Amino acid sequence: MHKKTTAAVIVAAGKGLRAGFDLPKQYQALSGKTVLQHSTLKFSSFDHTVIVAHPDYFDRIKEVLPGVLVVAGGESRTQSVFNGIKTLRNLSIDYVLIHDAARPMVTPAVIEGVLEGLNTAPAAVPVMRLVDAVKTVRGGAIGHDADRNALVTVQTPQGFHYAPILSAFEALPAEITFSDDIAVAVNAGMAVAQTPGDLNNFKITHPEDLAKAEAIMTEFKTCVGSGYDVHRLVDGDHMYLCGVRIDADKTLLGHSDADVGLHAITDAIFGAMAAGDIGDHFPPTDPQWKGASSDIFLREAGRFVSNAGGSIEHIDVTLICEAPKIKPHRDAMRARIGDVLGLPIDCISVKATTTEQLGFTGRGEGIAAQAVATIRRPR
């Protein structure tokens, strides 16, 4: 199956200060990063990211988000988004998601929901149903009830099949503007899938919104993930376990360096983040991981946690084998895991056990590892 190529366009072109900020809201500090950084990093797994901004802030953006493509906005939101998506013309993009920089609280579930919606329709938008009574207002007076069942509020990211939405923007007269990008799709006759929004995916508009976001981001929960991995033993002269080379008369067989310990830890970290497993992020069918050091996988799992605003609190891994003996290498393994994840050694436990010569590990046919990762992450 063809893997969809994804791009994110982060709309940050506004320069207004009318909300009472000293800088545009997208450059305000929020829990150790700018609002724009939080919004952009939520799409770090995408193949391409474009930020649309006012040229006055290009240097500021490139300082905190190096390597991200930044393009100038236009006179309206519609023109700014067009400037962003047309820069992707030559990159064979399948899906493009357009997101307001001022929505730093977007969750992976909302993003994934939009991507899933694009499997069934050329456009998708996260929506929220109205729960309060809705009234009409005429001349300042409360009027009749409005049918709230016929109304929704919409959020970003708003997702599209790339070619149709590019054509829809290209067909718009220069003077036409819309309040959001789904309106462009509807104007072009594109079907739109409705996907779940999130109450915390609100738009920073006023200083009190920033304070609310700060309060939410500083609320954390503790999550625990487990990982388990097995690799076959074959003839060889060394193996890697928990990042340490060990001379032996056997080696571990795998697509990468087959470091069963680091693979189990990586799985545990992704599990604690409810983000799939190592195979989802580093498919064994991908030739770029042939013979790769498993340090790469573990380091990227650590970055995934950091980009989501979380922190790894503790790692516990158990190696299950008859040989080699783990105890002489245990402290080196703990130190290596700590180096990769940026953790002190007292946050890392490495243990070993045998199966009393029972099963495939007891017969020396393979080595297994199980790991637990404890992670503190925003609610």
pLDDT at 158 over 70: yes
Instruction: Please tell me the total count of domains within the chain.
Output: 2
Does 196 share its domain with 271? no
- Is there a single domain that holds both residue 81 and residue 197? yes
What CATH number does the domain containing 320 carry? 3.30.1330.50
Mean pLDDT, residues 26-39: 92
For strands 33-34 and 95-100, give the pairing: unpaired
Q: State the pLDDT at residue 258.
A: 94
Give the CATH number, domain containing residue 180: 3.90.550.10
User: Considering the domain boundaries, does residue 170 fall inside one?
Assistant: yes
On the question of pLDDT at 139 being above 90, the answer is: no
Domain contains 67: yes
Please indicate, yes or no, whether residues 87 and 185 belong to a single structural domain of this protein. Answer: yes
Within-domain flag for 115:
yes
Assess if residue 52 is contained within a domain.
Answer: yes
1 assigned to some structural domain: no
The reply to whether 193 and 293 lie within a common domain is: no
Cβ(305)–Cβ(336) under 8 Å? no
Task: Mark whether 211 and 314 lie in a shared domain.
Answer: no
Query: DSSP string spanning 332-350?
Result: HHHHHHHHHHT--GGGEEE
- Among 184, 217, 250, residue at a domain's last position: 217
Identify the band that residue 17 occupies on the pLDDT scale cut at 50, 70 and 90. low
Q: Residue 373: its pLDDT value, please?
A: 97
Average pLDDT, whole number, for the chain?
92
198 and 232 fall within a common domain: no
Residues 50 and 31 both lie in one domain = yes
Query: What's the pLDDT band for 20 if we cut at 50, 70, 90?
Result: low
- 227 and 175 within one domain: no
Residues 186 and 298 in one domain: no
| Range list of β-strands (E), the chain | 6-12, 29-30, 33-34, 48-53, 69-72, 95-100, 123-129, 135-138, 141-145, 152-154, 158-161, 192-196, 220-235, 238-241, 244-247, 250-253, 311-320, 348-353, 366-378
pLDDT of residue 16: 60
- Sequence-distant (6+) residues with CB within 8 A of 334 are 242, 345, 348, 349, 350
Q: By residue range, what is the domain housing residue 57?
A: 6-217
Residues 211, 237 share a domain: no
- Domain stop point among 217, 252, 282: 217
Task: Give me the mean pLDDT over the 349-372 stretch.
Answer: 96
Is residue 19 scored above 70 in pLDDT? no
Query: pLDDT of 290-341, one tens digit each?
Result: 888 999 999 999 999 988 888 899 999 999 999 999 999 999 999 999 999 9
Tens of pLDDT, residues 46-70: 999 999 999 999 999 999 898 899 9
Best-predicted range by mean pLDDT (2-16, 20-34, 118-132): 118-132
pLDDT of residue 350: 98
**What distance in Å separates the CA atoms of residue 191 and residue 48, rounded to the nearest whole number?**
25
Q: Which of 198, 217, 236 is the last residue of a domain?
A: 217
Q: Does residue 185 sit in the same domain as residue 280? A: no
Higher pLDDT, 171 or 217: 171
Question: Residue 379: is its pLDDT beyond 80?
Answer: no
Are 49 and 125 members of one domain?
A: yes
pTM reported for the whole predicted model: 0.63
